[in-house]
Chain A
C-alpha cells in the first residue's frame, strides 16, 4: 500500500521552521534517549499532520510549535506506545477541535492528552469510552469542552472527581453536560449513577479492589482498612497507605505520604453481608471489608 504523504499545510510549516525544529529535536534527543528519528517522523505523519491540515491558516505556526514541542516530550517518553488511545486522541479528537487550538494551543493539546493518559493509568477506567463521548461534544469553546471532559472523565471511572464533576453539572446545566435530573441525589449517594438512579438491593458488594503486589496489585500484605470520612477509606499494607475512593463508576487508590489516623465509623457493620471478615470500616453509604488472608478490599453499597 502506498504511504500517504504530508499535507501541503504541514509541509509548508516544516519548511518554514526547519531550523528551529531540527535544533529542538537535536536538543530533545539528549534528554530522551528513547526518541528516535524514524519513529518521530512517523508520529508527525500519522498524528500531527491531520491536526495541522485541519487548522485555520491564521495562527497555524504557534499551534505547530506547540504540537512539535509536545511531540518531542511525549514520543520521547513513549506515551503513545504505552497508551495507544492517546495517539487515537491526537488522530481523531484534536483535528475535530482544531478551530479552538490557536487561542491556547499548548494548553488544549496537553490537557486532552493528559486526560487520556490519566484515564489509561487508572485501573478500570474507560479511556476509549471517554474519547468516543468527547467526539460527540459540540465544539463551541475550549472552556466548555474541557469542563464537559471533566464530567465525562468522572463517568468513565474516576470517582475522586465526582464532587467536582457534579459542581460542573450544576454550573453548565444538562444541555451541555448531558446530566439531567436530581443532582442532589447523586451527591448524597455515591452508588447512584447518571444512568442508574435506583438504589437497588443493599447491602451488596459492588467492587473488589487491590490485589497482591506479586501478581500486579498494589498491596504487599493483606490490607487493613480505616474509615476516612465522606464514604472514603484508608487502606494500609504495613508498608504504605492509600486513600480509597469509590462510587458507582469505579474505584481509585491514592498513595499517602504517611500513615493517617482514621475517623469513627458512620455506618453499619458487615454482619448482613455474611462474609468472613478480618477487618472492616463503614460510612453512611459504603462499607469496606477485608477477608482473612485476602489481598483485596471489598466495597459494598449500604
Chain B
C-alpha cells in the first residue's frame, strides 16, 4: 500500500476501453521518448483534455483524497452482487470503470465551471478537495490558501469584496473618483468559500451577486469576475450553520457532494502522511495542471458533446413528472406546485381534492416542488461533463442517471408523507436522498418503457413537423395539423387521467395549436390583402 502512495500521474490511457492507442511505427521523434517523461510542454493546445481529466481524477483518488468508494457505478456486462443482513443491504461489484462521487463531482465542477457544495462533517476533506481544484487550475498552493474565504459570523462585505482606498474616501469629489481595492480571489478561476453557512445574511447577499451574476459591486464600482468553478463547504446543509443560508444562494448551487466516511482499512496511509509530513496538494504533478486556455477548450468541448434524442426525451419525461398539482389551479396553466407554494397553503389540505390518480404510482406525489430551468440546465451540463470525462462521444442514459441525484439533491424536496415512502423497503429513501432520486429516475424510465414512448410518441411527428418551420405551409396543411392536434387532445381527454408528463404534453399541444392558429390567420389576411 505504501508504494501506491503519491504515484506519478496515472499512465494513459486511463480508460483503455474507450480509445485504443494507435499502432507503433518507426518515427525518428521516438529518439527523445524514454524513461524521462517529456511533460506537457509540447502541443498544449492539442493535448486530449478528457484523458487529462481522468488522469487528474485517478491521481487524486490514488494519492490525495483517500476515498476508496465507487458509488457512481458503471456496468458493461453482468455484475455480481451480494446481499447482507436482515435489511438486505446489497453490494454490487461494477463491471466497468466506476467512480467516487466525492472526487469526481468536484472535478466535473472544475471542468464546467459551476457551483459545487461539499457537505459533510469536519475533517472529511472538503476544503482539501477544493484546494486541490485550485492547484489544478494552475495557482500555487499559497495563492489558493490565501484566496479561500473562511465564513465567520463577523464577515463583512468589505472582507469579502474589498475596500475603497482610504485616501480617495477623504479626497474624492464624486463617487467615481473613489478607487476600490478589490480582493484578489475575485479574479481567480477557482473560488472557495469555506463554511458558507457561517456568513452573516447581509454578506451572503453580496456573495450571491458574485456567485450568480459574476460581478462584484462597491460604491457603484463594478468588478467583472472571470468564469470560475465555485466550491462552497458546509458541515451541515440543513441550516445548521451560524446563519440560515438565504434560499437564493442555495438555489444557485448546481451540484451537492456528500463527503463519504473514512474507511478504517486505510489507516496505514494516514500513518505515512503523519510520519513523512506529506501534503498531497504540494506535490500535484505539473502534467495535471490545466492552463486557462485548456480550461476554456475543455469547457467548449464538453458543451458541444451531443445528447442523443432518446436520452433527452427520457430526461424530459422524468422532469415533467413533478410540477403538476391538479388542485392548485382552475386554469390548466396554474395547476402547478409553484402556484400552490405562492398561495402559502399546506399541500396536505389540497391533496384531498386530487382526482382519483394512483398516488403510489404518480411520481409527482413524491415531491413538494418541480424542477427549475436552472436545475435542468445543470443536469445537462454535468451529464455532458461526466460523459466527456469517461471519454465517450455522446451522453448516455447512465451518465444522466448517475448525475441526477447530485444535481437535484437540494432542488427536489421529498414529500415525506407520500404513500411511496410507506411502501415496504422505501422508508430508507426518506433519509437517503441520492438513492431516492435515482429510484425516481428508474421508475420514470420504467413508466416511459411501459408507455412505449421510444417507439410510439404521439407528439414526435407533430414536433418534428413544427421544427421545420411555418414558412411555406399552405392553409390546408395548417388546417390538417390543427385537426390532428384537436383529435389527439380529444382522445386523451376521454381516456386518460392527468399525470405530470401528460400535463406538459397537453400544454405543448396548446402551444402548437396557438402557433398554427396565428399562422393560419396571417395566411388568410395575406390572401385578402
How distant is B287 from chain A, measured CB to nearest CB, in Å?
A: 9
Flag whether A15 is at the interface (Cβ < 8 A).
Answer: no
Complex: A109 Cα to B36 Cα, angstroms: 8
Q: Which residues does chain B contribute within 8 Å of A104, judged by CB atoms?
A: 41-42
* Chain B proximity mask over A137-180: 1 for CB below 8 Å, otherwise 0: 00000000010011001100010110111011000000000000
Cβ–Cβ contact B28 & A110, under 8 A: no
Number of interface residues of A (CB under 8 A): 45
Stretch with Cβ within 8 A of A (4 or more), from B5-13, B214-222, B481-489: B5-13
Interface string of A112-130 (1 = CB under 8 A from B): 1111011000000000000
Q: Does B175 contact A (CB under 8 A)?
A: no
Distance (Å) between the CB of A143 and the closest chain B CB? 11
Specify which chain A residues have a CB less than 8 angstroms from the CB of B36 in the assembled complex: 70, 73-74, 79, 109-110, 113-114, 117
User: A26-34, A183-191, A283-291: which lies at the B interface?
Assistant: A26-34
Q: Is the CB of B33 within 8 A of A114?
A: yes
Pair A31/B34 contact, Cβ less than 8 Å? no
Q: A109 to B37: give the CA distance in the assembly, Å.
A: 10
Assembly CA distance A112 to B33 (angstroms): 9
Asked if A107 and B41 sit within 8 Å, CB to CB, the answer is: yes
Residues on B with C-beta less than 8 A from A150 are: 28-29, 31-32
Q: Does A20 contact B (CB under 8 A)?
A: yes
Contact A114 B41 (CB under 8 A): no
0/1 interface trace, chain A 57-88, chain B, CB 8 Å (1 if under)? 00000000110011001100101000000000
| Stretch from B116-124, B272-280, B456-464 forming part of the interface with A | B272-280
Whether A30 and B38, one on each chain, are in contact in the complex, defined by CB atoms closer than 8 angstroms, is: no
A106 pairs with B283, CB closer than 8 A: no
Q: Is B85 an interface residue (CB 8 A)?
A: no
Q: Are A26 and B7 in contact (CB under 8 A)?
A: no
A115–B28 Cα distance when bound, in Å, is: 11
What sequence of 0s and 1s flags, for each residue 275-291 of chain B, a beta carbon within 8 Å of any chain A beta carbon?
01111001100100000
Contacts of B279 in A (CB 8 A): 23
A149–B31 contact, CB under 8 A? yes
Residue in chain A with minimal CB distance to B280: A27
B356 at the interface (CB under 8 A from A): no
Q: Mask for A88-116, Cβ within 8 A of B = 1, else 0?
A: 00000000000000001111011111110
A113 pairs with B34, CB closer than 8 A: yes
Q: Are B39 and A110 in contact (CB under 8 A)?
A: yes
Shortest distance from the beta carbon of A254 to any chain B beta carbon, whole Å: 8
Closest-CB distance, A208 to chain B (whole angstroms):
23
A165–B31 CA distance with the chains assembled, in angstroms: 11
Pair B38/A19 contact, Cβ less than 8 Å: no
Q: List 19 A-B contacts (CB under 8 A).
A: A24-B282, A24-B283, A27-B5, A28-B6, A30-B6, A30-B272, A31-B8, A65-B286, A70-B36, A106-B37, A107-B38, A110-B37, A110-B38, A114-B36, A117-B36, A160-B26, A161-B31, A163-B26, A245-B26
| B283-312 interface bits toward A, Cβ cutoff 8 Å, 1 = contact, 0 = none | 100100000000000000000000000000
By a CB distance below 8 angstroms, the chain A residues around B6 are 27-28, 30-31
A114 adjacent to B282 (CB under 8 Å): no
Interface size class of B (residues with CB under 8 A): 20 to 34
Q: How far is it, in angstroms, between the C-alpha of A158 and the C-alpha of B36 when the chains are bound?
A: 19
A residues sitting closer than 8 Å to B (CB atoms) are: 19-20, 23-24, 26-28, 30-31, 33, 65-66, 69-70, 73-74, 77, 79, 104-107, 109-115, 117-118, 146, 149-150, 153-154, 158, 160-161, 163-165, 167-168, 245
Cβ contact of A106, chosen from B5, B33, B35, B39, cutoff 8 A: B39
Q: What residues of chain B lie closer than 8 Å to A146, measured between beta carbons?
A: 32
A107/B283 in contact, CB under 8 A: no
Docked complex Cα distance between A245 and B34 (Å): 20
Query: Does residue B2 face the partner (Cβ distance < 8 Å to A)?
Result: yes
Residues of B within 8 A of A65 (CB): 286
The answer to whether A161 and B35 touch (CB under 8 A), given A26-B278, A30-B2, A106-B41, is no
Nearest Cβ in chain B — how far from A181, in angstroms? 20
Question: Are A107 and B39 closer than 8 Å at their CB atoms?
Answer: yes
Determine whether B346 belongs to the interface, using a CB cutoff of 8 Å to chain A.
no
Contact B35 A26 (CB under 8 A): no
Q: Is B494 an interface residue (CB 8 A)?
A: no
A113 to B34 alpha-carbon distance, docked (Å): 8
Neighbouring A residues of B7 by C-beta, 8 Å: 31
Cα(A301)–Cα(B30), bound, Å: 27
Q: Which B-chain residue is minimally distant from A168 (CB atoms)?
A: B28
Chain B residues whose C-beta falls within 8 Å of the C-beta of A73 in the assembled complex: 8, 35-37
B 36-60 contacts with A by CB, 8 A: 36-39, 41-42
What residues on B are CB-neighbors of A154 within 8 Å? 28
CA distance A182 to B30 in the complex (A): 26
Q: Which residues of A contact B38 (CB under 8 A)?
A: 106-107, 110-111, 114
Give the residues in chain B near A245, CB-CB below 8 Å.
Answer: 26
Q: Quick check: B26 and A23 within 8 Å, CB to CB? A: no
In the complex, what distance in Å separates the CA atom of A113 from the CA atom of B283? Answer: 23
Q: Chain B residues near A110 (CB, 8 Å)? A: 32, 34, 36-39
Q: Which residues of B contact A70 (CB under 8 A)?
A: 36
Distance between B339 CB and nearest chain A CB, rounded to angstroms? 58
Q: Are B31 and A26 in contact (CB under 8 A)?
A: no
CA distance A114 to B276 in the complex (A): 31
Question: Which of A23, A105, A111, A161 touches B28 (beta carbons < 8 Å)?
Answer: A161
* Min CB–CB distance B475 → chain A (angstroms): 69
| CB-based nearest A residue for B279 | A23
CB distance from A97 to the nearest CB of B (A): 14
